[in-house]
A and B are shown apart, each in its own frame.
Chain A
Amino acid sequence: MIPELGHFALVLALVLALVQAVVPLVGASRNRLALMAVGRPAAQGQFFFVVVAYVCLTIAFVQSDFSLQLAATNSHSATPLIYKITGVWGNHEGSLLLWAMSLALWTVAVTVFSRHLPEAFVARVLGVLGWVSVGFISFLLVTSNPFERLLPAVAEGRDLNPLLQDPGMIIHPPLLYMGYVGFSVAFAFAIAALLTGRLDAAWARWSRPWTTVAWVFLTAGIAVGSGWAYYELGWGGWWFWDPVENASFIPWLVGTALMHSLAVTEKRGAFRSWTVLLAIGAFSLALLGTFLVRSGVITSVHAFATDPKRGLYILALLVIVIGVSLVLYAWRAPRLTGGGSFGLVSRETSLLANNVLLAVAAASVLLGTLYPLFLDALNMGKISVGPPYFEAVFVPLMTPVVVLMMVGPFLRWKTDGVSPVLRRLAPTLGAALVIGTGTAFAVDHVTWRTVLGLVLAAWVVLASLQLLGNRLRDRSGAARLSARLRAIPSAWWGMWLGHLGIGVFIIGVTLVGSLDATLDVRMKEGQRAELAGYSFVFRGVQDADGPNYDAARATIGLYRGERQLTTLTPEKRLYRAQGMPMTEASIDIGPLRDVYVSLGEQLEDGSWIVSLYYKPFISWIWLGCLLMALGGIFAAADRRYRRTAEHRSTAAVAAAGRAA
């Protein structure tokens, strides 16, 4: 009964999404306030019914109702409660429902936080979001119904993929989807603005916090996913250039470009058609990511749906959404020329250069991801593209991005001179070269990659400090330091933290890439192994069975010299329902290094294969991501997005600009 209720709620949600898609747009074009006003309640009603559908599905999972096809294939009566709940999205149908729910949530957020926007504009935004919703909910109902019954029911379910039975999977998909789907708001704002032909500073200002918040979710989602891969896959890697990882990384790169481009459009009125294109691009690439994961055109560990009918439906959706947007763009964008002019040396130029580089980086990751598909389509054989390609392309593209990223904030808008910039930054750059190269020699690993990474990291950190120093000195006067710190707007801190996060991230990536050490050894009770100055003493293996798996748990003492630091307990699990073996790594996490142990096979003589890893500075990778996300939160929380008086004056300026 409950699944049927959910199914019915989803149908109602589709009806309301259709209302939300049609009525406000008609109202906006005929200038009828009553019709425009339908958008908000329709969107909120749609959200309500999608949530009801989602809750119904969750109840079926929690109650282990194996007459529901989805629960029978993705849950098990002995699965821990939390993984029964997260199992809802550990499959194609459920994760699409989660997609639809996050879209509805973003739409409701728009209805709540858009009181100060013109009614016609909100109506158009809600209409666009409504169409996207119609596409996804109908996709669910037509090809991927999560409420499909399995009659007769089976006695026991097949359980959730053990790889997904992990704390990281509890938050990774919701964060990632909130990020992906969040770009739909910037997209809807851009389409609404294209429809009216009014892409002004006010539009950019309205779009900025939405884009930034979506970007924060996406950053956090990718970081959590990479952390999950690090400790769950059992060999200590943190990024694999897997097609599905790339599918989330490409929108991140374009979203990063969009955030910065919006800043220029808001402050200077420049880059307007480029900004619109990025707004369309970020969401289109998020849709494309969904297509790649869900259609099965690309093999990946993550890709679970390989049903050509579904692939065709998503492709059609993709062509309609992106195609219509680009037609609209081709029609409207030619009017958008103009905007503030700027000199060759200016903050605009640095932002534009970084924008272009980020877009090229996104395109090259996309090319690498789809290259095997292209070759196959042209009948030129099957190949796979691996990390060497991505690293060879990515490092040279991102190096100038990182350099320019710290030059930009020192430049003035509109125009600046070469010599004052050099005067300000040459000493910093010199110091970064010395410190970076010196550190590479100090850690005794002088390869061009290590030197480059450390120099870039030193550059980001030093320039960040200099930037903060300048900012505080500028406010020289009677005010005390604390007052001067408080006077810095939140958006500035956002920029500062985000950029500093990149520096911290580079430190982690470089040092773990250069200095990590690995050892695979056979160990018997009482045996000792040495790696990177640490000793590992194997104390034996006991049974440690969980609710839905059998496990062997090794106890390994970790020593530095004769002092015991901790005891590590890696496990080898066999999940009963799927008969799938899993390694559960044990990690001693530290600020300057992780020590990572995973348990391999047992050998015939009773000894075990144990993999030992020493991972210096690896937590800095995620610390960097955390700083970036925190930067995004500060940027989005800036007071001026909440001040309506200022927005009116900006709108007036923009109107005057259009008249001119």
Chain B
Amino acid sequence: MKAKFLVPLVLFLAFAGFLAFGLTLNPREVPSPLIDKPVPAFSLARLDAPETRFGAEDMRGQVWLLNVWASWCVACRQEHPVLVSLARQDVVPIVGLNYKELRGDGGIDMRGVSLEDETARSIQRARRWLADHGDPYALSVLDIDGRVGIDFGVYGVPETFLIDRDGRIRYKHIGPITPENLQQVLLPKIEELKRAG
């Protein structure tokens, strides 16, 4: 047996080792550096009462969800019925982070739109959308310029964060929540955190 004819075998075995290790990994899981870290501090205007502000510390002592949404986001529309039915079950309060309502919508010419204009139009659009599609949120806050979104590392809407009583992010879901996600992942995690006391 000459050594060079063993080369394919050796290469293949090394390769198979990698594949075996690959089986233990989950390619769909994108790590978030925020997991187990405190929620980024924010103070934003409430959609229902723009003169009052709301921050993460207002939810301290509760297990809650932060759901990033916008009226221009097509996938949010897909996810929305799931959130509405979750809200009806009254398991967990959902806080909506309305993300770049106006400037995120690619179809709008933002030149010459003042921040006041933008805020007013954002509130109008967001309220109408919730009126049309149902409002699952305990409350929503307005992230007009998307700065808070950056702190949360949002790179695709919708995203959902699960936050524990101590104000730490425990889980992040990217993309629309499907009924399966809810039943198999999210609800068990919520129950676990609530039990943890």
Question: Is B23 a contact partner of A322 (Cβ separation < 8 A)?
Answer: no
How many residue pairs between the two chains, A and B, have CB atoms under 8 Å in the bound complex? 75
Secondary structure at the B interface, as helix, strand, loop or mixed, is helix
Residues of A near B23 (CB, < 8 A) are: 295, 297, 308, 311-312, 315
Residues of A near B150 (CB, < 8 A) are: none
Give A356 Cβ to nearest chain B Cβ, in Å.
15
The contact string, 1 if C-beta is below 8 Å from chain A, for chain B 132-172, is 00000000000000000000000000000000000000000
Question: Is B9 a contact partner of A330 (Cβ separation < 8 A)?
Answer: yes
Question: Is A377 a contact partner of B9 (Cβ separation < 8 A)?
Answer: no
Give A614 Cβ to nearest chain B Cβ, in Å.
23
Is A239 interfacial (CB-CB < 8 Å)? no
The contact string, 1 if C-beta is below 8 Å from chain B, for chain A 322-347, is 11001101110110000000000000
Question: Is A315 a contact partner of B74 (Cβ separation < 8 A)?
Answer: no
Q: Chain B interface: which of A111-119, A368-376, A464-472?
A: A368-376
Is B112 interfacial (CB-CB < 8 Å)? no
Is B41 interfacial (CB-CB < 8 Å)? no
Question: Is B5 a contact partner of A329 (Cβ separation < 8 A)?
Answer: yes
Report the Cα distance A306→B25, complex, angstroms: 11
- Given A295-B23, A299-B27, does the pair A374, B5 have CB atoms closer than 8 Å? no
Give A383 Cβ to nearest chain B Cβ, in Å.
11
Question: Is A382 a contact partner of B30 (Cβ separation < 8 A)?
Answer: yes
Q: Chain A interface: which of B10-18, B83-91, B95-103?
A: B10-18
Give A141 Cβ to nearest chain B Cβ, in Å.
21
Is B2 interfacial (CB-CB < 8 Å)? yes
Partner pick for B27 among A298, A312, A322, CB 8 A cutoff: A298
Give B40 Cβ to nearest chain A Cβ, in Å.
23
Is A354 interfacial (CB-CB < 8 Å)? no
Question: Is B6 a contact partner of A377 (Cβ separation < 8 A)?
Answer: no
Residue ID in chain B nearest A372 by CB atoms:
B27
Question: Is B22 a contact partner of A334 (Cβ separation < 8 A)?
Answer: no
Question: Is A377 a contact partner of B5 (Cβ separation < 8 A)?
Answer: no
Is B107 interfacial (CB-CB < 8 Å)? yes
Is B31 interfacial (CB-CB < 8 Å)? yes
Is B78 interfacial (CB-CB < 8 Å)? yes
Question: Is B5 a contact partner of A333 (Cβ separation < 8 A)?
Answer: yes
Partner pick for A315 among B19, B25, B30, CB 8 A cutoff: B19
Give A508 Cβ to nearest chain B Cβ, in Å.
32
Report the Cα distance A315→B22, complex, angstroms: 11
Residues of B near A312 (CB, < 8 A) are: 20, 23
Question: Is B19 a contact partner of A579 (Cβ separation < 8 A)?
Answer: no
Report the Cα distance A318→B23, complex, angstroms: 14
Residues of B near A543 (CB, < 8 A) are: none
Report the Cα distance A327→B8, complex, angstroms: 9
Question: Is B6 a contact partner of A330 (Cβ separation < 8 A)?
Answer: yes
Residues of B near A374 (CB, < 8 A) are: 18
Question: Is B16 a contact partner of A330 (Cβ separation < 8 A)?
Answer: no
Question: Which of A298, A306, A377 has the largest count of B CB atoms less than 10 A from its CB?
Answer: A377
Residues of A near B16 (CB, < 8 A) are: 315, 318-319, 322-323
Report the Cα distance A311→B2, complex, angstroms: 33
9 chain-A/chain-B pairs, Cβ below 8 angstroms: A291-B19, A297-B25, A299-B27, A323-B12, A330-B1, A377-B21, A377-B22, A382-B30, A579-B78
By Cβ-Cβ distance, the 3 closest A-B pairs, closest first, are A326-B9, A297-B22, A299-B27
Give A residues with C-beta under 8 Å from B: 273, 277, 280, 284, 291, 295-299, 306, 308, 311-312, 315, 318-319, 322-323, 326-327, 329-331, 333-334, 370, 372-374, 376-377, 382, 522, 579, 601, 603
Q: Assuming A298-B27, A315-B16, what are 16 further A-B pairs, CB within 8 angstroms?
A: A284-B12, A297-B25, A299-B28, A319-B16, A323-B12, A323-B16, A330-B1, A330-B5, A330-B9, A372-B27, A373-B18, A377-B22, A377-B25, A382-B31, A579-B78, A603-B107
